[in-house]
Structure 1
């Protein structure tokens, strides 16, 4: 399994692909890659029986794909918790380091790390961490881009991306912040929100609005 294939399985899982279809467009936006690259890689993981494909709808993880993705995600996110909580890494930096560590971590080591950390159920970005037995609570969070104008939401999860997480720290948007959706720009696709804690109005770009999940 190449690191690139693993990245695709993880992002499909993160976008809800264990239970629903995930479009190639969603994958392309989340990984910041060209649509053609997504099509090529999807065909490869389809041939490996990690996903099923439905024309015009996207892909969904098979049981084999779910099992593999859960293992990858568990290792990655437990290391993120350790790096952030124990070693005080800044949030934007934990993904890159966790990416390296997950590939050299045995099942025995990750089980010990899980116990050491107190068996956390979410990572610093709000993503679920499957247990040793593959148990976790499925979330039904919306991407911010799909949130309705005039409704209030809570920031629930972010996609791991260094530049994006650095941007979030600059605009002071955090997990569990409560927001009001003010407007969707029909041309640019940006989302204008009000942070309810201080009334600040923030405009989130089209791509960034697909990296933020709300409930």
Structure 2
């Protein structure tokens, strides 16, 4: 399987494609690519039996696609945890390293890493880590962009994207913070949030708000 197909499987997994339909727009926003490219790759995943597509509704993973995605995500996120926890990598820098390491990691090695790290349940950007039997706590799939004004939520996780993580570092938004959604500006404008502990108001870009998940 090509690395590009694997990236699609992982992002559909991250966006909730094990339980619901994910739109082409969501995939395009998260991968920062043109919608036309998504349509083409979705067709290939369907042809390979890894995904199901319903016109005007979206795409979800088949049982085979889910198993493949869980294996990829497990290796990727365990390596991210190792790089941050043991080698002191900055969070925005771990994705590209983990992307390489996951492809050369045997099941024996990932099991040993998991044990060495104390069986972590979540990676540094908040995503659940499946164990070797495929068990994990389901992530929230409620995007900040879809949260109503006036709602107080907790930041649960971020999509694993280098540019996004750099942006969130710059605006000092962190996993676990409690924030209140103040307003959604029209025409794909920012979502303004207020950090509950400090009262600081932060405008979060339209694209970033679709890649931040809350509960």
TM-score interval, normalised by the smaller of the two chains: over 0.9
Q: Which residue pairs with 1:95 in the alignment?
A: 95
Equivalents in 1 of 2:113, 2:188: separation in Å?
44
| SS across alignment from 1:198 | coil
Q: Which residue pairs with 2:22 in the alignment?
A: 22
Q: Which residue pairs with 1:118 in the alignment?
A: 118
1:141, distance to aligned residue in structure 2 (A): 3.6
Q: Which residue pairs with 2:68 in the alignment?
A: 68
Change (3 A) 1:143 1:72: same
Moved more, 89-98 or 183-192: 183-192
Q: Which residue pairs with 1:129 in the alignment?
A: 129
Q: Which residue pairs with 1:108 in the alignment?
A: 108
Moved more, 163-172 or 75-84: 163-172
Residue segments in structure 2 that go unaligned for 5+ positions in a row: none
Equivalents in 2 of 1:140, 1:204: separation in Å?
19
Normalised to the residue count of structure 2, the TM-score between the two structures is 0.98
Q: Which residue pairs with 2:193 in the alignment?
A: 193
Q: Which residue pairs with 2:4 in the alignment?
A: 4
Equivalents in 2 of 1:37, 1:192: separation in Å?
31
Aligned length in residues: 215
**Aligned runs of 1:115-194 on 2, under 5 Å?**
115-194=115-194
| SS across alignment from 1:27 | helix
1:188, distance to aligned residue in structure 2 (A): 2.9
Moved more, 24-33 or 161-170: 161-170
1:26, distance to aligned residue in structure 2 (A): 0.5
Equivalents in 2 of 1:92, 1:138: separation in Å?
23
Equivalents in 1 of 2:21, 2:34: separation in Å?
19
Residue segments in structure 1 that go unaligned for 5+ positions in a row: none
Q: Does 1:42 align with 2:42?
A: yes
Q: Which residue pairs with 1:31 in the alignment?
A: 31
CA RMSD of aligned residues (A): 0.8
The 8 Å contact of residues 78 and 129 in structure 2, kept in 1 or not, is answered as: yes
